[in-house]
Amino acid sequence: MKYSDKKIFGPVSGFVMLCLIVLPGIGLAGLKTARAQDTLRISAVVNETAISAYDLISRIRLTIVLSGLNKSDETIERLKADTLRVLIDESLKLQEAEQLGIATSEQELIATIARIEQRNKMKPGQLSQLLSTNGVNIDTLLQQIKTNLLWPRTVMAKYGANLTISDSSIDISFAKAEAAREKPLYLLSEIVIAVDNVSNQQQAEGQITRIFADLQNGADFAALARSFSQSPTAAKGGDVGWRRLDQLPTQISAVLATMKPGQISQPIPLKTSFVLLLVNDFKENSRRQPASPILDLAQFHLELPGDAQPETVETYMEAARNHTSDTKQCSTFNEIGTQNGSPMSGSLGKIDQSKLPPHLLKAVSELPVGTPSKPIRTPDGVVVLMVCNRENPAQADEEKIREGIRRKLLNERLTIYERQYIRDIRSRAYIDIRQ
């Protein structure tokens, strides 16, 4: 069955299958002997969509399998409330996406699963096999993936006009980044639990504390981020990328300054959320080495054995000089090579200048474009080189940095609108929790 054809979320998701089979168990000792009506029990109703006990247990199983949590009744019971809140939000997000006509494709779902397998060093199809072995239907993962793909697009459709990043904003951030190249950088992952208002602060603090305890017991950070984090980075396992301390809130930078790679922070309270951070890597600074030019090279080659007599070598060097000295263009240079040189004459393609052997690097590093080099003795002959084009990657590097800044600023604004959006649709939704 195609992924896109599967009913990933709905009022009767998984009910029929549970009536026919007994799920292999990880925890919930009474699950195997439960009657059919128990598995049909509704855990919550979100507008007109029901979340079944099966949906809830399946998602908990998924979290346990991917994060490496202890497979026990206690773990399942502990995850129920937090997981149900995630499923309620997912249901609201999917309903909103459907209302706005936003969809995913089968190819996107397959590609996302492939990326998860690659990140976890799995062979193709191994993730599906792992879930099946542990009694988790692939639909459970597909719903999570689908929501992560659809929700940012839904927010963009709703607030896109407010999410434009101006060139001046990028200029300011770029200037700050250039001025701060001597400052340390941290490669971070995050788990964010939002505090929507005073009434849910205790709930959010309890959830982040439970997640922190699971991480201390060896749970996988990326898996828990995908399952529970309320940040756009959740879809990437919480990956934030490289950040300087001055780019972060004071509360976070104060904690990070004391951390080393591999460490996970205690829960950090912010005004609108609680945050857990994982330091994946650290760099003393972001100074860039001068970028090596990319050369489009051509050569005129005369074949000559390495043991040729000096006078023979000099004769060949003079012949190479005479053939090429008056050429000013690569097209003419290559024609001369075809007519008078060995079959090794002609274009060498694009080459990173820093990768050239020392004797060739010396010959071309200061050589103007379209000018033949002096003849060079090589182990198999005599060559004359010509630089057909010299591409300085510094400009492209700057454009890459600016694009990264644009994405970062966009994600920061997206986070604000995401939280506002989910609060709005929660407030007007009918949610009946029966757990």
Kind and range of the H or E run holding 189: strand 185-194
Quick check: is 415 in a domain? no
Provide the number of structural domains found in the chain.
3
Give the whole-number percent of the chain exceeding pLDDT 70.
Answer: 88
Q: pLDDT at position 10, please?
A: 35
Is residue 139 domain-shared with residue 25, that is, in the same domain?
yes
For residue 121, the domain's CATH number is 1.10.4030.10
Is residue 344 domain-shared with residue 200, that is, in the same domain?
no
**Boundary residue ending a domain (267, 287, 307):** 287
Is residue 135 domain-shared with residue 63, that is, in the same domain?
yes
Is residue 268 domain-shared with residue 306, that is, in the same domain?
no
**Token pair of 332, please?**
């003419």
Quick check: is 205 in a domain? yes
Is residue 331 domain-shared with residue 200, that is, in the same domain?
no
Q: pLDDT tens for residues 310-348?
A: 999 999 999 999 999 999 999 999 999 999 999 999 999
Quick check: is 27 in a domain? yes
The b-or-e profile of 156-184 (16+ CB within 10 A means b, else e) is eebbeeebebeeeebeebbeebeebeeee
CA dihedral 274, 241, 413, 164 (to 10 degrees): 180
Please return the burial class of 202, using the count of CB atoms within 10 Å of its CB with bins 0-12, 13-18 and 19+: exposed
Lowest mean pLDDT among 87-101, 125-139, 175-189, 217-231: 175-189
Is residue 273 domain-shared with residue 330, that is, in the same domain?
no
Is residue 379 domain-shared with residue 320, that is, in the same domain?
yes
Is residue 116 domain-shared with residue 57, that is, in the same domain?
yes
Residue 186's Cα: distance from chain center in Å?
16
Is residue 322 domain-shared with residue 276, that is, in the same domain?
no
Quick check: is 401 in a domain? no
For residue 187, the domain's CATH number is 3.10.50.40
CA dihedral 177, 183, 184, 185 (to 10 degrees): 0
Beta bridge partners of 346: 299
Phi first, then psi: what are they for 35, rounded to 5°? Answer: -75, 160
Q: pLDDT at position 2, please?
A: 39
Is residue 18 domain-shared with residue 96, that is, in the same domain?
yes
Q: Where are any strands of DSSP class E within 213-372?
A: 239-244, 268-269, 273-283, 294-303, 346-352
Q: pLDDT at position 376, please?
A: 93
**Residues of the domain holding 114:** 3-157
Quick check: is 165 in a domain? no
**Boundary residue ending a domain (249, 271, 287):** 287
Quick check: is 368 in a domain? yes
Quick check: is 168 in a domain? no
Distances (CA, A) of 435 to 45, 80, 81, 179, 357: 10, 9, 8, 54, 70
Is residue 7 domain-shared with residue 133, that is, in the same domain?
yes
- The pLDDT of 155-160, averaged and rounded, is 89
- The pLDDT of 252-275, averaged and rounded, is 93
Q: Are 271 and 251 in contact (CB under 8 A)?
A: no
- The pLDDT of 375-382, averaged and rounded, is 92
Kind and range of the H or E run holding 24: none
Is residue 44 domain-shared with residue 186, that is, in the same domain?
no
**Boundary residue ending a domain (354, 369, 391):** 391
Quick check: is 423 in a domain? no
Q: Are 372 and 326 in contact (CB under 8 A)?
A: no
Beta bridge partners of 269: 274
3-state secondary structure of 267: coil
**Token pair of 434, please?**
């029966």
3-state secondary structure of 197: coil
Confidence of residue 394 (pLDDT cuts 50, 70, 90): low
Q: pLDDT tens for residues 68-83?
A: 998 888 999 999 999 9
Alpha-carbon distance of 71 to 120, in angstroms, equals 20
Phi first, then psi: what are they for 303, rounded to 5°? Answer: -75, 130
Residue 428 makes CB contacts below 8 A (sequence gap 6+) with none
Give the chain's end-to-end CA distance (angstroms, integer): 32
